[in-house]
Amino acid sequence: MSPDVKEVKKKLRVATTSLAGCFGCHMSLLDIDERLVPLLDLIELDSSPLTDIKHCGPCDLGLIEGGLCNAENVHKLREFRAHCKILVAVGACAINGGLPAQRNHLDIRECLQTVYLTGLGVERGFIPNDPELPLPLKQVHPLHDVVKIDYFLPGCPPSADAIWQFLTDLIAGRTPKLGHGLIHYD
């Protein structure tokens, strides 16, 4: 190859989303701080709360925070699975339902009634039923209940160092491995 032909490295296209999550995992991603600069030399963002692109195009990597608590979550997850070569469940909620799944042993109808009708301090309440609102699922599910997940990155949230280790391993073509101090379920 002649020296004047510049080798253009193709950036990995990455999509991210938060389903039944709290955006804590996204905050933790931003917590990699100045390492965002070298990261952005290696990746470009597709659909993500950070770009506000609403739908996911063909991507190399999809990072999903949060579990599945309503029908829209399931649609979004399937969209990501259809477009992302590698799909990663990020954080406790994506991996085992997490905090939202603490409602799983309760009846969803009773839950909604307590929150919107009979709960402490509720006056003239009603259960929201706008057709635009996605219907809640009977139980909250982890992502791997519905689609194939390629990697799991645990933590509530995974620390910035864990996310950095994971992403740099993956981008370099290594199997991501989190050692002591980086692997956490809490």
Partner 1 sequence: MSTEKPRPTFQMDGHDVPFDEGQSILAAALAAGRYVPYLCYHPEFQPHGSCKVCTVKINGRTHASCTTPAHEGDVVESNVDELNDMRKGLVQFLFTEGNHFCPSCEASGNCTLQAVGYDLGMTSAHYSPLFPDRPLDASHPEVLLDFNRCILCELCVRASALVDKKSVFSLAGRGIQKHLVVNAESGKLADTELSVDDKAMSVCPVGVILRKRRGFQVPIGERKYDEHPIREVAVQKQKGE
Binding residues for partner 1, rule: CB under 8 A, are 89, 92, 95-99, 101-102, 104-105, 139, 141-142, 144-145, 149, 151-154, 156, 177-178, 180-181, 183-186
89 forms beta bridges with: 64, 152
10 phi, psi to nearest 5 deg: -75, 130
Closest CB to partner 1 among residues 35, 184: 184
Residue closer to partner 1 (CB basis): 46 or 65: 65
Q: Distance between CA 161 and CA 177 in Å, rounded?
A: 12
Compare residues 13 and 63 and give the one whose CB is closer to partner 1: 63
In the complex, the smallest distance separating the C-beta of residue 70 from partner 1, rounded to whole angstroms, is: 17
Q: How far is the CB of 176 from partner 1 (least distance, A)?
A: 9
The encoded tokens of residue 30 equal 């931003």
Of 46 and 166, nearer to partner 1 (C-beta) is 166
Q: Are 84 and 150 in contact (CB under 8 A)?
A: no
DSSP code of 67? Answer: B
Token digits of residue 47? 């659909």
